[in-house]
Structure 1
Amino acid sequence: MAAEKKYLMQEWKSGQEMHEEAVLWISSLEFITSEHHFFEDLLNAYFLQISNQDHYKEGKELVTELGENKVKNDSLINEVSTHNNSLIVLLDGKNEFEKEDQVKSEHRSLEARMKEHEKGFRTLKGHIFDLVAAIIKEIKKDHLLGP
C-alpha cells in the first residue's frame, strides 16, 4: 500500500490586502516610535534611581535594548515603506510572475519579522514598566519612612 500524499492549497492575499496590511504595519511602527520617545523620557525621569547600584545593571541593559529596538524599528519602517511601493507589481495588471512571487515572499518575511518585532517590544515595555514600578515603590517607601 503506497502512502497517500495530501496537498494543501493555500490561498494568498491579494495585492490590495497586502497593501492594507503594509499601511497598518507602518502605522504600528510609527506608534512604536512614539512609545520609544515616551520610554526614553520615563527612564530619564528616573535616571538617578536607575543609576544607583541596585538598578544600574538592569537599567543599563534596558536602555541599550531600547536603543537597539529603536534602530530596528526605524529600519523596519524603511523596509515596509519600500515593500509597500513594490506592491504595485501585483496591482498593475501585468503578468510578471517572478517579480510577483518575489514580492509575495518578501511580504511573508516582513509579516514574520513584524510579529517578532512587536512581540519583542511588548516584552521590553513590560521590563521597563517593572523597573520603573519597583523604583516608584522604593521612592514611596522612603517618603513614608521620612528623614
Structure 2
Amino acid sequence: MKYKEWRNPSSLHNETLRCISDLEFVRDEIQFLSDLIKEFTLELISSKHLEESKSIVSDLSTYEKTLESLLKDTENHKNNLQTLLDDIDIPDEEDEYQVEHNKIMSEAIAFNLKVRKLKAKIFDLIKEIMKVGKQKRLLK
C-alpha cells in the first residue's frame, strides 16, 4: 500500500504560488533567449549551424505556447484551492485536488528542465559563433 503525505491547503497554495513565480521567470528567460537569437540571426542563418538553429527556434516557439498553457492551468489550479477551503465537504475533493496538484507540479518541473536544456544549447551555439567572429576579427 502506498501512503500519501497529507498537505494542508496553505502549503499547497504556497507551492502553487512559487510554481507560478518560477513559470513567470521562465517566461522572461524565453523572451531573453528569443531576443538573443534575433541578435545573432545573421550569423545563425549563414553558419554551418543552420539546421540546429531552425530546431532551436522551433523548440523555443513551442515552449512559449506550452508555457502559456501551463501558466493558465496553474492559475486555475490556484483559484480552485478555494473549494478546499469552503465549508462544504465533498467526498474525495481533497484527494482529487492533490492528484491534480502533483500532476501540475510535475509538469512544471519537467518543463523547466526542458527549457534549461534548450538554454544550454542556445548558449553553446552563440558562444561558438562569437568565437568564430572573434577569430575572424583577429585575422584581419
| TM-score bucket (shorter structure) | over 0.9
In the alignment, structure 1 residue 61 sits paired with structure 2 residue 49: no
SS in 2 for 1:111: helix
SS in 2 for 1:95: coil
Q: Equivalences for 1:1-147 in 2 at 5 Å?
A: 7=1, 9-146=3-140
- Rounded to whole Å, the distance in 1 between the matches of 2:40 and 2:47 is 14
- Rounded to whole Å, the distance in 2 between the matches of 1:93 and 1:124 is 45
- Rounded to whole Å, the distance in 2 between the matches of 1:12 and 1:51 is 53
Between stretches 95-104 and 126-135, larger displacement belongs to 95-104
TM-score (norm 2): 0.94
1:93, CA displacement in angstroms?
3.5
SS in 2 for 1:94: coil
State the one-letter code of the partner of 2:128. A
State the one-letter code of the partner of 1:61. S
Structure 1 gaps of 5+ residues are 1-6
Give 1 or 2 for the bigger CA radius of gyration.
1
RMSD: 1.2
Give yes or no for contact 1:16–1:91 (8 Å, CA) kept in 2. no
Structure 2 gaps of 5+ residues are none
- Deviations along 1:91-146, one digit per CA (max 9) or x if unpaired, are 22432123222211110111111110111111010001011001000100111111
1:57, CA displacement in angstroms?
0.5
SS in 1 for 2:92: helix
TM-score (norm 1): 0.90
Give percent identity, aligned residues only.
Answer: 31
Aligned pairs, number: 140
Which protein, 1 or 2, shows the higher relative CO under an 8 Å CA cutoff with sep ≥ 6? 2
- Rounded to whole Å, the distance in 2 between the matches of 1:126 and 1:28 is 18
- Rounded to whole Å, the distance in 2 between the matches of 1:89 and 1:97 is 12
Give yes or no for contact 1:89–1:96 (8 Å, CA) kept in 2. no
